[in-house]
Amino acid sequence: MVQYREPVLDATFAALSDPTRRGVLEQLGRADASITNLAEKFHMTLTGMKKHVGVLEKAGLVTTEKIGRVRTCKLGLHALDKEAEWIERYRQLWAERFDELDKIVEELKQKEKAHGQNKR
């Protein structure tokens, strides 16, 4: 479950900065594929492709599943069920609200402090 927004986005943007990885995402958008398939399509070694898939997987953009001897890759968003996706959006909504509330709490705290000092 995606828990923290900004570090996740850092990973996402880092993952998307590479043209091969963007190509892999495009490919997986059309159909799931094994790492061997992907390596062939992108004229890469298996090890090289595993690394790229690993980066995408870490960013949550791709999920992989090993069935027998074949590791199949699919787009991460497809793996997120609707509820998890919704809960993440719901959490972001509250995080946005609460970041604003943080500012107000800080402001009120300062005001109280100043007020207390005036009294003394």
Q: Which residues bind other proteins (CB under 8 A)?
A: 3-7, 9-10, 13, 82-83, 86-87, 89-106, 108-109, 112
Among residues 96, 95, 21, the alpha carbon closest in space to that of 58 is found at 21
Tokens of residue 88, six digits: 């993440």
Which residue's CB is nearer to other proteins, number 26 or number 81? 81
Give the nearest distance from C-beta 91 to other proteins in angstroms. Answer: 4
Give the nearest distance from C-beta 21 to other proteins in angstroms. Answer: 17
* Separation CA 42–CA 49 (nearest Å): 8
Which residue's CB is nearer to other proteins, number 79 or number 93? 93
Which residue's CB is nearer to other proteins, number 9 or number 46? 9
Give the nearest distance from C-beta 55 to other proteins in angstroms. Answer: 17
Give the nearest distance from C-beta 106 to other proteins in angstroms. Answer: 7
Helix spans in 1-120 (H): 5-16, 19-30, 35-41, 46-58, 76-79, 82-119
Q: Burial level of 61, CB count in 10 A (0-12/13-18/19+)?
A: buried
